[in-house]
Structure 1
Amino acid sequence: MTRPLMIFAAGLGTRMGALTADRPKPLIPVAGRALIDHALDLARGARAAPVVVNLHWKAAMLRHHLAGAGVRFSDESDRLLETGGGLRAALPLLGPEAACGPLWTLNSDAVWTGPNPLLMLDSAWREGMEALLLLVPRGGAVGYRGAGDFAMDAEGRLSRGGPFVFTGAQMLRSEGLAAIPDPVFSLNRLWDRMEARGRLFGVLHPGGWADVGRPEGIALAEALLAGALPQDAAP
């Protein structure tokens, strides 16, 4: 079956320094292809439809690059809405399925090896979940500098703080977005409400994942894609 997908591509990319002075971060090349194109490969492999990409910094460049790719654009040029506000603003573009069933979201600043993360989420989704986050162990989070994001119990329920890193791929229900009054907010606020209800879950991705949020992440991601970096090594 097809499922709606939101690709987050509106960030300023400030951690990339000079690399994003003249282009948006999703257009930074990794292994000869723009980051956004790596994300679209996953979307096509999972038969995601519709696919919505949000825009902010250097929006016209990203529109031009994606012309003919069959994606819809949620333009945040006037105001950056963060992940929660951005997803809520994009719901009309994501179609009726996004209002009554789970949808996918994917960050555009990462690369993967192994199983398609979107298909993994789809196969692991079950009744009673409000969000299912795709995670990797801290030791396998290539290019990631944090200590970890979540702990996970035997049933897959998540709590804050722990050895697992959120990869930027998830499947979630969108109904709870309407209860948050602010126009600009992070999806963390929605997750906190889901966690309190015991409806926030996670699943581990068995392949490789590299965070390409900083300049040094580019070489690490290219090494991962080339098979030159062990999947359990996270500098």
Structure 2
Amino acid sequence: MLFAAGRGTRMGTLTRTRPKPMINVAGRTLLDHALALVDAAGADRIVVNTHYLGDQIRDHLRGRPDIRLSPEPKLLETGGGLRAALPLLGAGPVITLNTDAVWTGSNPISQLRAAWDPARMDALLLLIDPTRAHGHTGGGDFLIGPQGGLTRGPGLIYSGLQITRTEGLKTIDEDVFSMNVLWDRMLRDGRLFGQIHDGSWGDVGRPEGIATAEALLRKPRHV
């Protein structure tokens, strides 16, 4: 699932007339950058959620009949948006990806799938070493143990990519909620794990992040 519903308010005037996933970086939209990763990883079912100026995303994807849209009548945040899309996604663990970043290194989706161990994990998050995070502000999100188990704390940065079980979403009472609600439950059960990405990552959350991301993409692939 690709998250593409948000208003992108941190992008200022750039998102006044277009949704953030439709902003161009290095000659193609952020949404198309994300879809290139998904396609290369061989996903067999793709869902994109929409809300703010969602007709632009719908029109942009008109040539992709393999992609299903999950329109949201109101913004549901990441957890609520994923739960609303479950009828389209089907049963089983789901991969979710934010659409506001660019990547170098190995395909991050393939890297995460190779590390997924359902016997131990309820969710596996792809994390970024701060020295390889470009355009990001903040002190990090998680600390990782020797076996990959996570705790909260300033350190590694959540990249916006995860594999997660979805059964727990049905037990959350709120309509609008973040994935953090589900993650906190997994943390208490020792079932939230992380994998560190082997390349670099460019966060395009603010206008200045566009130039930073384009410079990153001009570098050799594995940096």
TM-score computed with the length of structure 2 as normaliser: 0.96
Quickly say closer, same or farther: Cα 1:230–1:220, change in 2 above 3 A: farther
In the TM superposition, residue 162 of structure 1 has moved relative to its aligned partner by 2.6
Quickly say closer, same or farther: Cα 1:223–1:230, change in 2 above 3 A: farther
1:64 has 2:59 as partner: yes
1:134 has 2:134 as partner: no
Which of 8, 16, 19 is equivalent to 1:21?
A: 16
**Partners of 2:222 and 2:115 in 1: how far apart?**
25
In the TM superposition, residue 130 of structure 1 has moved relative to its aligned partner by 0.3
Number of matched pairs:
221
1:102 has 2:97 as partner: no
1:8 is aligned to 3
| Structure 1 segment 148-159 matched on structure 2, within 5 A | 148-159=140-151
Which of 118, 122, 127 is equivalent to 2:113?
A: 122
**Partners of 2:74 and 2:22 in 1: how far apart?**
20
Mapped contact 1:50–1:71 kept (Cα < 8 A): yes
**Partners of 1:120 and 1:228 in 2: how far apart?**
19
**Partners of 2:38 and 2:12 in 1: how far apart?**
28
Identity %: 57
Which of 75, 87, 93 is equivalent to 1:92?
A: 87
Letter in 1 for 2:143: A
**Partners of 2:165 and 2:114 in 1: how far apart?**
16
**Partners of 1:19 and 1:148 in 2: how far apart?**
26
1:208 has 2:210 as partner: no
**Partners of 2:114 and 2:220 in 1: how far apart?**
29
Moved more, 193-202 or 101-110: 101-110
**Partners of 2:94 and 2:51 in 1: how far apart?**
22
State the Cα deviation string for residues 21-47 of structure 1 (Å, max 9, x = none).
Answer: 010000000000000000000110111
In the TM superposition, residue 213 of structure 1 has moved relative to its aligned partner by 0.5
In the TM superposition, residue 138 of structure 1 has moved relative to its aligned partner by 1.4
Quickly say closer, same or farther: Cα 1:74–1:15, change in 2 above 3 A: same
Q: What value does the CA root-mean-square deviation take over the aligned residues? A: 1.3
State the Cα deviation string for residues 166-204 of structure 1 (Å, max 9, x = none).
Answer: 000110110110110111100000000000000000000
**Partners of 2:146 and 2:167 in 1: how far apart?**
27
Query: Unaligned 5+ residue runs, structure 1?
Result: 1-5
Query: Unaligned 5+ residue runs, structure 2?
Result: none
Mapped contact 1:150–1:158 kept (Cα < 8 A): yes
Letter in 2 for 1:81: L
**Partners of 2:46 and 2:68 in 1: how far apart?**
6
State the Cα deviation string for residues 141-181 of structure 1 (Å, max 9, x = none).
Answer: 11000101000110100011131000001101101101101
Q: Which runs of 4+ in 1 moved over 2 A?
A: 228-231
Mapped contact 1:224–1:230 kept (Cα < 8 A): no
2:71 is aligned to 75
Letter in 2 for 1:28: I
Mapped contact 2:18–2:56 kept (Cα < 8 A): yes
1:170 is aligned to 162
Mapped contact 2:105–2:222 kept (Cα < 8 A): no
In the TM superposition, residue 137 of structure 1 has moved relative to its aligned partner by 1.0
